[in-house]
Amino acid sequence: MLIKTRRDFLKAAITSAGALGAFGKFGEMNALASNSAPYQALVCIYLAGGNDGHNTVIPIATAKQNYSLYAAGRQGLALPQGGLQVIANGSDTYGLHPLMPEIAALYNAGNAAVVANVGMLVQPTTPKIFQAQNLSQLPPQLFSHSDQTNQWQAAIPSGTVSTGWGGRVEDAISSQYNSGASFTPIAATGGCGLFCTGQQTFPASVPPTGIALLEGGNTPARLAAVQQLMQFDNGLKLVNAANSNFSRGVSFSNTLSNALKSAVVKTVFPSTQIGSQLQTVAQIMSVRAALGIGRQIFYCELDGFDTHGAQSGTQDPLLQQLSQAVGAFYSATQEVGTDANTITFTASEFGRTLQPNGSAGSDHAWGNHHFVIGTGTAKGGSLKGGQFWGQFPSLALGGPDDANTRGTIVPTLSVDQYAATMAQWFGVSAANIPSIFPNVTNFPTSNIGFLG
């Protein structure tokens, strides 16, 4: 955590205080020593702005449609078929964006899967329901960045929500898997909103720039003096609470900085926004035993996907950056010994219109495709990779999956189902899933099946 001023430190302390209270003081018994369950990690890569899934996963020759239908809808945004990274889903042929060879290689090796047409839903929905504007059956404020980001991160589409599904998942399992942890089980390398916050679980912000203590407090004597000042009781509850949080923040920073002194990750990462974040995640994973964490969630963010104009020049390098970083991260998990127990997944507030706008870009839409990366079941992991999960939609403009006539695809899998599948793999019992994802009971299943 980068902490240079008292304001920074107070902010850090506030976000970490609940975690320190819930998971014990530095030096407590290592949870991994007393818990035979293997370490597991979920790594969210949030593609902020609404990634265009139509130029991320492209049908080439399938039982329902082919490249020509895609090209007709995409018009000037269509990617040339000859440059696509070819992948197969059974007898169907698809292509990934030309600049995503690393993820294509992981997929073809059975270490990545595509989860098709995911989006925020209240219940199973059709274009007719959308067109009728049956608002009780639809998420509110569709196509709004802020609303859909909050809804996605909360997995609750309506009402005022103060927690996210990542935080609630950790709330549900931490007493079993993180009881002796000296560090919060949720760490964000990019700005994290609701997703990271639970009732008892609070995130740590650990930027790739590294950890720094309070400016001027760079010696044990100075830190001890500051902590002594923070213990002064002036009778004001609010000030005393802030002082307590500040003291916990000192302990929090010391815990992670001391643990990371032994971190050794030799895998070479690209020097990019998401590459540096995933490198930080790998470093924290490498010291998991020292932190005593049995179940850990990470949140990373790659922004810039709001491509209303000149989309190719913006999205292309972002997808290249994503693919290169994910490839390096998978190698790093092999190096630190967590590949069989780490699931990395993408998320984004919504997809984009198939039909381009008048500025060589695409507009806010709905359903989107996501990647799940981890060691495949054939190699001792949990991921049923090398295949698609869910129904890939028709790309016919005005067709059976289009909410309007621009290729605004109605999702056929809900965020609840996508997230609940990973939560169950992570250790949440099926009986507790509805308490974390209240709307999941509206759908046929809470487990899509891509994790064994």
Residue 440 DSSP code: G
Domain ranges of the chain: 12-212+268-442
- Kindly state the tokens that stand for 274: 């998401």
Distances (CA, A) of 315 to 35, 306, 368, 370, 392: 44, 9, 15, 15, 22
Tell me: domain 12-212+268-442, CATH 3.30.70, correct?
no
Complete DSSP assignment for 298-318: EEEEEE----SSSHHHHHHHH
Pairing of strands 85-89, 368-373: unpaired
pLDDT in tens, the chain (452 residues): 333 343 343 344 334 433 333 333 333 333 333 346 899 999 999 999 999 999 999 999 999 999 999 999 999 999 999 999 999 999 999 999 999 999 999 999 999 999 999 999 999 999 999 999 988 999 999 999 999 999 999 999 988 899 999 999 999 999 999 998 989 999 999 888 899 999 999 888 888 976 544 444 455 665 565 556 556 566 665 555 555 555 555 666 778 888 999 999 999 999 999 999 999 999 999 999 999 999 999 999 999 999 999 999 999 999 999 999 999 999 999 999 999 999 999 999 999 999 999 999 999 999 999 999 999 999 999 999 999 999 999 999 999 999 999 999 999 999 999 999 999 999 999 999 999 999 999 999 999 999 99
As beta bridge partners, residue 383 has 376, 451
**Cα(216)–Cα(274) distance, integer angstroms:** 31
Q: What is the pTM of this model?
A: 0.89
